[in-house]
Chain A
Amino acid sequence: MLRYILKRLVISFFTVMVLVTVVFFLVRAMPGEPFLSDKLTPEIRENMVRYYGFDKPLYVQYFTYIKNLLRGDLGVSMHYHGIPVTQIIRDSFPYSASLGIRALIVAIFAGITLGVASALNRGRFLDYCCIIVAVLGVSLPDFVTGYLLQYVFSIKLKLLPIAMWRGFKYTVLPTFALSFYTTALLARITRASMLEVTNQDYIKVAKAKGLGVFQIVVRHELRNAILPVITILGPVTAAILTGTFIIESIYAIPGMGKFYVSGIQNLDYSQVLGLTLFYGIFIVIANFVVDILYGFVDPRIRADRRDAS
């Protein structure tokens, strides 16, 4: 197991390095230049290019970036002058993560419950209700859900604050808005894999043995049906935790989402690179955790690994 983890770590490191390299050159290949405001004269532009070291050959810039990166320095944002990218992440990530974890908890609970309930009631009224919710959740864009919840619960019913992030009640609407899509996604996947499992022989055996419904569902069906859910949980967690532009902007939450968008719009190289890297590392870690989780859920995978090591 240890060797397996070590191997995964080494692969992860290379994955991240490849990511940095690709993104570094891709960002530079984006059309346009960072210093091209309508007001800029060529001489002033030259001063700025020199200031940020863009007058040096690209490979020199790349090695400087990698050298700084290995020291944990992601460079200084060009748009937010003088503010290190690490500080941007440090300031904004906690908001995104806090919102993301809440949304994730809601989504996992609600999604799996809905999926199970609808699979157990296949073809009945409850199933259709769940399917409608799931289809709505997957097809409604973020901004519709966001605005709709805000309109109904804040503006019309005045139950919850309209926006901003100043305490528990401020978190309720964005949490639900953000979790809606994931809830629906998880519900659909859970339902589908539950239905697949229900017809398996071992379930029939369990039923024939006279086990209780609860035991069959939780110990036998769900445990087998949960694998695909866990598979998508990795990327979903990374995406949901590292900030979502639309929900954060509707609810005025100072999270990380907007920095991706503003970074690309302003061609802020260091910001785009730093955030992509952070996101990349996050996905790598999330997938890593998922792999280990597999082992707990599915003994066969654990056994394979033992054999391999």
Chain B
Amino acid sequence: MNKKIVMITTLLLCIFCVMASSASAAKTTLTFSMETEIPVLDPQRSNAAPSFTVIAHIFENLVRTSNGKTIPGAAERWETSEDGRTLTFHLRDMKWSDGKPVVAGDYEYAIKRLIDPATAAEYAFAAYYITGAQEYNTGKTTDPATVGVKAVDDKTLVITLKEPTPYFVGFLGHGVFAPARRDLVEKYGETYATDADKVVYNGPFVLKEWKHEETKVLAKNPDYWNASAIKLDSVEIMVISDTSTALSLYESGEFDVVDIPSNLFKTYQEEGKARLLFNGALDWMKFNLRENKDKPWLANKNFRLAVGWAINREAYTLAATKGLYVPALRFILPIVQGAEEQYGKEYPLDFYTPAGDAAKAKEYLGKALDELKLKASAITMEYLIQDQEETRLMAETLQQQIQAALGINFKIKLVTRAQRQQLEANGEFDTVYSGWMPDYDDPMSYEEIWITDVSHNSAKYSSPEYDGFVRGALIEPDARKRMDMIFGAEKQILEDAPLVPLQLRRKAWMSDEALNGFNRPLIGAEYDFAFAYFE
């Protein structure tokens, strides 16, 4: 009898111990899904967030962006010359996953490859800050030696900039600046980095397995210079294009992180589970300011301001997105980096009010009609949008608001995405629904595309005051003065109203409570799990 009791107790103890040990050992595998397969893994040819997410974890750029901060990456330190135009990076000892040393030449090669016209890289513009880069990319010169990037020796890389560009060091953390090995690019040619074994790695993880359209398995890179800071042993990224399937898989415990489909975000928010983030996109209604004899009102500033004030952005975002998107009351996303802290905190501005102002709208319309010598009912305005359910709903809400407030004819023109882009680029629109995602963490990313005659400026907006502010900011070495100019430009463009800001996009997501250090960056990669861990 006693023997039995002892045996049972021992057995129970054993079971308890096993259970306790398995409960205390934290998970080291992170699993989640992305909506699409990464179209390209070759860093210099990449152009989409899913690619940049993987690239950021398998390559080590000169610097790394973590939680909005620029931290040392392959470069252990760097110096900026007094005029702010020469950057000298000092590289640490690192190895590629095939055992070869990582040298400064790999970074020089990558940048030159990015701007080589033969690479046909969509993101080549990212390197245009470097002297000679734009000329080389656009074929004005064919000599790569004229480009201001040079590996002085294996450990030192010098980059010369056209203008002092305070955000450029941070921008170097972007996926397109990941290093490349000349020998492998030449060996694989077109197929470079199209499979896990056709590229080498020097980042926190290596790509162990890549089943296209199905799964990518990242394994911790034991040779990574900062391997002790990497807590996850492996990361599995599935491709699940159906958002509700991904959600079900998360609910069943198979995934640790998931994006919440926008139609369900309210439910999860009420349950206190949804986390919200700005994905960087600021959407606007853009006016065509080209001379138009049939529709002279489009070029009338007061008319455009009347439209801007006629919109009740609060009601609009609630009706169209249940409040997932929030009203945009200014031209720059407030959370981008300012001189020292967030731009919106340093330079608060509510140009429009969330509920709009019908009286003000009428006042501006009155002025416009006097100037144009027209009646409101004679005014017709077409709003070009791409055909998506969400977009349609938003446009219809705007239509109701603007027609009710101003008494003008507001027509919606539905086209495909490709058509919208083409018509917008060619200037064949009255007004168009578009927007901008910043490419780097600085207000300049929104502002530089509205300078007179810049190719992105399809509205043909041209203001000497605005250009003066932005061009001043482009060469101003002092951070505070520079930001003042940027703010000046922002106020100017809002007053000139070539665009009317509509909303800031947000994304809803949730993650396993035990997961820490998992970030959602604003720029480039969609997820940052380099330093993530489970408690």
Interface residues of A, Cβ cutoff 8 Å to B: 30-44, 47-48, 50-52, 76, 79-83, 91-92, 147, 150, 154-155, 162-165, 249-252, 254, 258, 262, 265, 267
Say whether, besides A44-B125, A162-B248, A36 and B422 are in contact (CB < 8 Å).
yes
Please indicate which of the listed interface residues B125, B242, B254 has the most CB atoms of chain A within 10 Å of its own CB. B242
B101 interfacial by beta-carbon distance below 8 Å: no
Q: Is the CB of B117 within 8 A of A47?
A: yes
Please indicate which of the listed interface residues A80, A81, A147, A165 has the most CB atoms of chain B within 10 Å of its own CB. A81
Q: Is the CB of A39 within 8 A of B122?
A: yes
Q: Pull 6 A–B residue pairs with CB atoms less than 8 Å apart, ordered by A.
A: A33-B422, A43-B139, A80-B37, A82-B190, A163-B248, A252-B241
**10 other contacts beyond A30-B418, A43-B138, A165-B214, with CB at 8 A cut-off?**
A39-B123, A43-B137, A44-B125, A47-B118, A47-B121, A51-B118, A91-B213, A162-B249, A163-B240, A163-B248
Q: Is the CB of A150 within 8 A of B212?
A: no
- Chain B: number of interface residues, binned into ranges: 35 or more
B124 interfacial by beta-carbon distance below 8 Å: yes
B40 interfacial by beta-carbon distance below 8 Å: yes
Q: Is the CB of B39 within 8 A of A79?
A: yes
Residues of B179-229 whose CB lies within 8 A of A: 190-194, 211-214
Say whether, besides A162-B245, A250-B245, A76 and B138 are in contact (CB < 8 Å).
no
Contacts of A51 in B (CB 8 A): 118, 120
B456 interfacial by beta-carbon distance below 8 Å: yes
- Residue interface bits B320-343, CB-to-A below 8 A is 1, else 0: 000000000000000000000000
B61 interfacial by beta-carbon distance below 8 Å: no
Residues of B136-188 whose CB lies within 8 A of A: 137-139
* B184 CB, min distance to chain A CBs, angstroms: 13
Contacts of B139 in A (CB 8 A): 43
Q: Is the CB of B239 within 8 A of A252?
A: yes
Interface residues of B, Cβ cutoff 8 Å to A: 33, 36-37, 39-40, 42, 45, 47, 117-125, 137-139, 190-194, 211-214, 238-242, 244-245, 248-249, 251-252, 254, 415-419, 421-422, 425, 434, 436, 439, 455-456
Q: Is the CB of A32 within 8 A of B241?
A: no
Say whether, besides A32-B417, A254-B213, A164 and B238 are in contact (CB < 8 Å).
yes
* B85 CB, min distance to chain A CBs, angstroms: 23
Instruction: Out of B118, B194, B242, B254, name the residue touching A250 (CB < 8 Å).
Output: B242
Q: Is the CB of A42 within 8 A of B244?
A: no
Say whether, besides A150-B245, A250-B245, A254-B214, A265 and B417 are in contact (CB < 8 Å).
yes
Instruction: Out of B33, B190, B434, B455, name the residue touching A42 (CB < 8 Å).
Output: B455
Say whether, besides A36-B425, A39-B439, A41-B456, A82 and B239 are in contact (CB < 8 Å).
no
Instruction: Out of A32, A39, A150, A163, name the residue touching B419 (CB < 8 Å).
Output: A32
* B379 CB, min distance to chain A CBs, angstroms: 28
Contacts of A83 in B (CB 8 A): 191, 194, 212
Q: Is the CB of B436 within 8 A of A82?
A: no
Please indicate which of the listed interface residues B122, B194, B421, B439 has the most CB atoms of chain A within 10 Å of its own CB. B122
Q: Is the CB of B245 within 8 A of A258?
A: no
* B89 CB, min distance to chain A CBs, angstroms: 26
Q: Is the CB of B125 within 8 A of A41?
A: yes
Give A155 to B245 CA distance when docked, in angstroms. Answer: 10
Contacts of B418 in A (CB 8 A): 30-34, 36, 267
Contacts of B138 in A (CB 8 A): 43
Contacts of A41 in B (CB 8 A): 125, 455-456
Q: Is the CB of B39 within 8 A of A249?
A: no
Q: Is the CB of B190 within 8 A of A44?
A: no
Q: Is the CB of B124 within 8 A of A44?
A: yes
* A150 CB, min distance to chain B CBs, angstroms: 7
Q: Is the CB of B122 within 8 A of A37?
A: yes
Give A92 to B36 CA distance when docked, in angstroms. Answer: 15
Say whether, besides A82-B191, A252-B238, A254-B212, A163 and B120 are in contact (CB < 8 Å).
no
Give A308 to B214 CA distance when docked, in angstroms. Answer: 51
Contacts of A80 in B (CB 8 A): 37, 39-40
Please indicate which of the listed interface residues A31, A51, A82 has the most CB atoms of chain B within 10 Å of its own CB. A82
Contacts of B251 in A (CB 8 A): 155
Contacts of A34 in B (CB 8 A): 418
Q: Is the CB of B415 within 8 A of A31?
A: yes
Give A42 to B139 CA distance when docked, in angstroms. Answer: 13
Give A165 to B215 CA distance when docked, in angstroms. Answer: 11
Q: Is the CB of A44 within 8 A of B137?
A: yes
What residue in chain A is nearest B455 (Cβ atoms)? A41
Q: Is the CB of A40 within 8 A of B194?
A: no
Instruction: Out of A40, A79, A154, name the residue touching B248 (CB < 8 Å).
Output: A154
Q: Is the CB of B137 within 8 A of A47?
A: yes
Q: Is the CB of B242 within 8 A of A252?
A: yes
Instruction: Out of A31, A48, A250, name the residue touching B122 (CB < 8 Å).
Output: A48
Contacts of B248 in A (CB 8 A): 150, 154-155, 162-163
Please indicate which of the listed interface residues B123, B137, B214 has the most CB atoms of chain A within 10 Å of its own CB. B214
Give A163 to B242 CA distance when docked, in angstroms. Answer: 10
Contacts of A162 in B (CB 8 A): 245, 248-249, 252, 254
